[in-house]
Amino acid sequence: LTSFTDETLIALDTLAERATGLVNPSIRIGVTGLSRAGKTVFISAFVHNLIHGGRLPMFEAQKSGRIARAYLEEQPDDAVPRFQYEDHIDALVSGRTWPDSTRAVSELRLTVDYESASAWGRMFSRGRLSVDIVDYPGEWLLDLPLLGKNFSTFSAESFQLAALPVRADLAEAWVALAGSVDADAAADEMMARRLAETFTAYLRACRQDSRALSTLPPGRFLMPGDLEGSPALTFAPLPNLREGRARPGSLRAMLERRYEAYKTHVIKPFFREHVTRLDRQIVLIDVMQALNAGPAALSDLERALTEILGCFRPGTGNLFTSLFARHIDRILIAATKADHIHHTSHDRLQAIVRRLSDRAAARAGVSGASVDVLALAAVRATREGTVTQRKEELPVIIGTPLAGETIGKDTFDGETETAVFPGDLPKNLDALFDPNAAAGPSEAIRFVRFRPPKLERSADGVSLSLPHIRLDRALQFLIGDRLE
Ligand code: GDP
* pLDDT for res 62: 94
The answer to whether residue 359 scores a pLDDT higher than 90 is no
Mean per-residue pLDDT, 341-360: 90
Q: Whose CA is nearest to atom 1 of ligand 1?
A: 36
* pLDDT for res 339: 95
What are the start-end ranges of the H helices in 311-440?
A: 319-327, 346-364
Mean per-residue pLDDT, 465-481: 96
Task: Tell me if 105 CB under 6 Å of ligand 1.
Answer: no
* pLDDT for res 82: 97
* pLDDT for res 1: 44
Mean per-residue pLDDT, 310-319: 62
Mean per-residue pLDDT, 294-302: 91
| Type of residue at 454 | K
User: Which range scores top for mean pLDDT: 1-15, 46-60, 217-231, 318-332?
Assistant: 46-60
For the chain, domain boundaries: 22-142+276-379+466-483, 150-269
Query: When comparing pLDDT for 264 and 13, which is higher?
Result: 264
376 CA closest ligand 1 atom index: 23
Task: Tell me if 37 CB under 6 Å of ligand 1.
Answer: yes
Q: How far is CA 21 from CA 2, 15, 113, 130, 148, in A?
A: 29, 10, 15, 9, 33
* pLDDT for res 124: 63
Q: State the chain's mean pLDDT as an integer.
A: 89
Write down the architecture of domain 22-142+276-379+466-483 according to CATH: 3-Layer(aba) Sandwich (3.40)
Mean per-residue pLDDT, 13-36: 78
- Report helix, strand or coil for 302: helix
Please report which confidence band the pLDDT of residue 7 belongs to, taking 50, 70 and 90 as the band edges: low
User: Which range scores top for mean pLDDT: 12-26, 177-191, 306-320?
Assistant: 177-191
Mean per-residue pLDDT, 41-55: 96
Task: Tell me if 36 CB under 6 Å of ligand 1.
Answer: yes
What is the largest distance, in Å, between two alpha-carbon atoms of the chain? 84
* pLDDT for res 292: 86
Lowest mean pLDDT among 393-397, 421-425, 480-484: 421-425
The answer to whether residue 16 scores a pLDDT higher than 50 is yes
Lowest mean pLDDT among 130-139, 252-261, 370-379, 420-429: 420-429
* pLDDT for res 408: 81
Task: Tell me if 40 CB under 6 Å of ligand 1.
Answer: yes
Please report which confidence band the pLDDT of residue 169 belongs to, taking 50, 70 and 90 as the band edges: very high
Ligand 1 centroid to residue 330 C-alpha, Å: 23
Mean per-residue pLDDT, 338-353: 91
* pLDDT for res 15: 65
* % of the chain at pLDDT higher than 70: 89
Q: For the segment 403-412, what is each residue's pLDDT rounded down to a tens digit? A: 999 888 889 9
Ligand 1 centroid to residue 453 C-alpha, Å: 13
Rounded distance between C-alpha atoms, residue 474 and residue 280, angstroms: 12
Query: When comparing pLDDT for 421 and 9, which is higher?
Result: 421
H or E element: which one contains 17? helix 6-23
Mean per-residue pLDDT, 235-241: 96
The answer to whether residue 76 scores a pLDDT higher than 60 is yes
Please report which confidence band the pLDDT of residue 362 belongs to, taking 50, 70 and 90 as the band edges: confident
Rounded distance between C-alpha atoms, residue 226 and residue 220, angstroms: 9
For the chain, the first-to-last Cα distance in angstroms comes to: 48
CA quadruple 397, 398, 402, 408: dihedral, nearest 10: 70
Mean per-residue pLDDT, 1-7: 59
Mean per-residue pLDDT, 248-257: 97
Please report which confidence band the pLDDT of residue 315 belongs to, taking 50, 70 and 90 as the band edges: low
Mean per-residue pLDDT, 292-308: 90
Task: Tell me if 54 CB under 6 Å of ligand 1.
Answer: no
Neighbours of 441 (CB within 10 A): 16
Order of strands across the sheet that contains 418-420: 383-389, 392-399, 418-420
* pLDDT for res 324: 59
Lowest mean pLDDT among 319-328, 390-399, 451-460: 319-328
Lowest mean pLDDT among 12-21, 186-195, 226-235, 392-401: 12-21
Order of strands across the sheet that contains 127-135: 67-73, 106-114, 127-135, 26-33, 280-285, 330-335, 370-375
Q: Is the ipTM of this complex over 0.90?
A: yes
Please report which confidence band the pLDDT of residue 428 belongs to, taking 50, 70 and 90 as the band edges: confident
Ligand 1 centroid to residue 162 C-alpha, Å: 28
By most ligand atoms within 8 Å of CB, the mutation choice from 337, 383, 447 for ligand 1 is 337
* pLDDT for res 191: 97
Task: Tell me if 348 CB under 6 Å of ligand 1.
Answer: no
Q: For the segment 441-469, what is each residue's pLDDT rounded down to a tens digit? A: 665 566 789 999 988 887 777 778 899 99
Ligand 1 centroid to residue 448 C-alpha, Å: 13
